Every structure is written in structure tokens, then in C-alpha cells.
Structure 1
């Protein structure tokens, strides 16, 4: 009887050892999905280098705009007056230079015939150089005035949609110390999805160029992997993807990132 008990005990121990060994060999259940957060594919806060009072706001929140389209402008009356003065000055200097050039050509011919002195010839050459310098200065003033005008107009740097407007009509803009965000423009033709990873997940996803995203309604998108690395804020692994939505999605929405099977990644 005692021998039988020992045999039963040995068999039970052997079964327990086998079960334990099998648990070590069997792969642990891996997480198949992780949560990713959506954001706009491109979002830019736009500002101007100039200061002044808002004169015209040509868009509203939600408007779609084309690249180069005027979004808003500051008061330009002073800059337009400077441009007008520079154009008037250029007109006069151009006439003065033309007259000085004719006189220089006349005195050059007389000088070559030894009909005038070297001093008279030199005076005409000096006048020509002076009027030319004045004309070039007036050209520079025109360019500066045009730049000042351009700096008071905000154009869309890319085609997109107006997400936010941070200024009201008549409000003063002061960019002397720090640029003030006037308008937020987004490109919603594509969206970005970002997910935090474990180190093991990050290592297994190396070399993967596309992943699948699943929304709450079970619709899915193929997303292109654009960046995989460390989050600069907390120094943890993360992955960033871009995709083109076929429905209206909002930033901050959480979706499921489907991790590929281990075999497909090997």
C-alpha cells in the first residue's frame, strides 16, 4: 500500500513538472492592439512680422482656403504713403539721371575735342554718378516699402481649413517682443495617429512601413509609418503614422492600432 502511494505521488509530481515546463515553453499571450490618438496631419499657427491694427479679416473658422489666399491684413495706410513717396522720388531721380547722362555725353564729346577743361568734364561725371546713386537709393526705398506692405498681409502658406482665429477686427497686434498667433490653419486632407509603445513592441515594429488602424465603428484605414522613435517629452518609444480619412474625424479621437502577428514581422 505504501509503495502504491509513493508511485501515485511520483506520477503527480511528474505531471506538475511537465505542466510547469510547458508553461515556460508556451509563448505568452501578446497584446494585439494598442490605442493611438489622432491629430491633424498639419497644424500651423500663423503670425506676421509687423505690428499694427487689424484692418481686414477675410476668413472665418471652418473656411477652406487655397495656398496664397489672403487671410487677413493690418492697416497699411502708412506703408502705402511711403511707397507712393518712394515712387514719386524715383520718377524725379530717373529724370535727373537722364538729364545728367545727356550732359555727360555732351561734355565727353567736347572734352575729346579739347574744347572744355578737365575740370568741366569731371563736374559732369560727378553729377552723373550722384544722380545714379540717388536713383538707386529711390529704387531701394520702393523695395523696402513693398516689403513693409507684404509684411502686413497674411497669406495661406498651404491649402487647408481655418481652425481658429485669435484676433478680432480693430484689435492691435504687437510683435515687437514676441510673435502673436493670429490664425490657426490645418491641412485635414490627411491625419496623424500617434501611439505609445513598449520597448518590445517598438523593436518588433522596426522595418514596418504600414499598419492598420481601426475606428470605433469598426471601419479601418491603412496608415503609413512616418516616424518611429522616442517621445521627446518622456523619452518613451512611440510611433507616428499618416493616413487619408474618408470620413470626418476629429483630433483627440482614440483608435485601435492593430499590431501585426509575430510571424509576419519576422
Structure 2
């Protein structure tokens, strides 16, 4: 009877030990939220701001115009560059025909070496002029594109430093007009001891809890140097916001394996 009781109880103890070991494998750590991607936006061109569409706290989609410069001058430059390219295209074609004609006459010993060289030089020069004009058109189109500051990805507007009528001058350093952060993901950062960090690996799944909500994320970074002023290492978990709007500095809990 006594032996039978032990044999029946053994599986129960095994299950209990498995449950306890499973709980010990996962641990919770206090963390704080940070932006995963935070970008200061400006423009490499100069001009006067005609419209500011961004507002602090606003959610914007990738490609949305946040700040618009007066683009009349940029459009005029595109038109001018396009016209010059068309003009040089005709000149280039004529120079090519003259080169081909000169080579044919030279082969027939009707044209001198000097005359052939002049035709070849003219053709090379027009090719160079055409290439430069084409590059100028590309640059003019880029400048027109840069006259609108757009959201680089789905984002939250953190700060707006632009104002209608403001003149943007980038002679010394780029001027920040709008600061945005990724609207779809954030970072939960915790500080762990050397022993707690040791078994972790990049890409491991981790759970982030914020105000009763849970998000499944991945370990994005594991510090190799201690946080300044401490003997602990920073571990960052990237997680999707899933439609929620959190703020930097909010407390969270990370469950790590």
C-alpha cells in the first residue's frame, strides 16, 4: 500500500516541479519606454515656409507633407533645366551627324586630320554639355522634391519648430523643422545585472506589459558596456504599439526568458 501511494504521487510531484521550473525560467524586470526611431527632419534647400501642416501629437502617414516651402522658384528651375536639355538634345544629334559625316569623308581621304579632329571634339563637347544638362535637370527636380518636408514613415509628430513665413537657411548646419518618431513600434529598456544578461540573445521573444496591456516583442539590443554610473547592462525590447499611444518615460514590465 505504501509503495503504491509513492508511485501515484510521483507524477504529481513531477508536474509541480515542471511548473516551478517554468516559472523560474521567466523573470520580470522594470523598464521604461523610449522611441525606437526618432528623426529630426529638415531640408537641404533654402526658402520661405508657406505652410506648416504638422501639429505636435499628430499621427501622420509615410509621405505626408509636414512643411512646405515656396516652390515657385524650384518649379521654374525645373522648367529651365528641361528646356535646356531639349535644346542640347538637338545640338547633340546634329554634332553626331557631323562626326559621322566627317569620319566617312576622312575614310574617303576627302577630309584632313585636323578637320576630322574638330568634328570629333565638337561631338565630345556636345555629349558633355548634354550630360551636364541632364544632371542639372535631376538636381532641379530633387530640389523641388526637397521643398516639401515629408514624413519618412508612419510617425507621431513630437515637436514642430517651423512657422509660416520663416526663412530656412542651411549655410552652416541643417535646420530642424519637425521631429517625428515611429508610430508603430517602441522600445522598452531595462537595466540588468551581468548574470541576468548572460543567457539572453538578440531576437529572443519577450513580453512587454504596460498598464494591463501585453505586447509580444523581441530583444533588439543587449549592452556590452555597463550603463554609466552603474554595474548593470541595458537591454532593449522592441514591440509593436498595436494602435496604442504610449509616451516616452512611461513605466513598463519586461518578461524575459
TM-score, normalising length: structure 1: 0.69
Q: 2:238 matched to which residue of 1? A: 242
State the alpha-carbon separation in 1 of the partners of residues 126 and 201 from structure 2.
Answer: 67
State the alpha-carbon separation in 2 of the partners of residues 233 and 211 from structure 1.
Answer: 25
Q: Which runs of 5+ in 1 are unaligned?
A: 1-31, 260-264
State the alpha-carbon separation in 2 of the partners of residues 107 and 258 from structure 1.
Answer: 80
Alpha carbons 1:38, 1:191 under 8 Å: kept? yes
The answer on 1:255 being equivalent to 2:249 is: no
Q: Which has the larger radius of gyration?
A: 1
Q: 1:172 matched to which residue of 2? A: 167
Q: 2:200 matched to which residue of 1? A: 206
Q: 1:29 matched to which residue of 2? A: none
Residues 88-128 of structure 1 deviation map (CA, whole Å, 9 limit, x = unaligned):
22222222222233333344444444445444444433333
Alignment length, in residue pairs?
227
Alpha carbons 1:41, 1:188 under 8 Å: kept? no
CA 1:163–1:105: 2 relative to 1, 3 Å = same
Q: 1:140 matched to which residue of 2? A: 135
CA 1:159–1:123: 2 relative to 1, 3 Å = same
CA 1:243–1:94: 2 relative to 1, 3 Å = closer
The answer on 1:225 being equivalent to 2:219 is: yes
Residues 58-112 of structure 1 deviation map (CA, whole Å, 9 limit, x = unaligned):
4433443333333323233333333333222222222222223333334444444
Q: 2:74 matched to which residue of 1? A: 79
The answer on 1:149 being equivalent to 2:149 is: no
The answer on 1:43 being equivalent to 2:38 is: yes
**What SS does structure 2 have at the residue aligned with 1:191?**
strand
1:83-98 paired onto structure 2 within 5 Å? 83-98=78-93
The answer on 1:125 being equivalent to 2:120 is: yes
Alpha carbons 1:195, 1:238 under 8 Å: kept? yes
Tell me the C-alpha RMSD between the 2 structures: 3.0
The answer on 1:158 being equivalent to 2:146 is: no
State the alpha-carbon separation in 2 of the partners of residues 225 and 141 from structure 1.
Answer: 46
TM-score, normalising length: structure 2: 0.71
Alpha carbons 1:41, 1:189 under 8 Å: kept? no
CA 1:141–1:221: 2 relative to 1, 3 Å = closer
State the alpha-carbon separation in 2 of the partners of residues 254 and 151 from structure 1.
Answer: 38
Q: 1:22 matched to which residue of 2? A: none
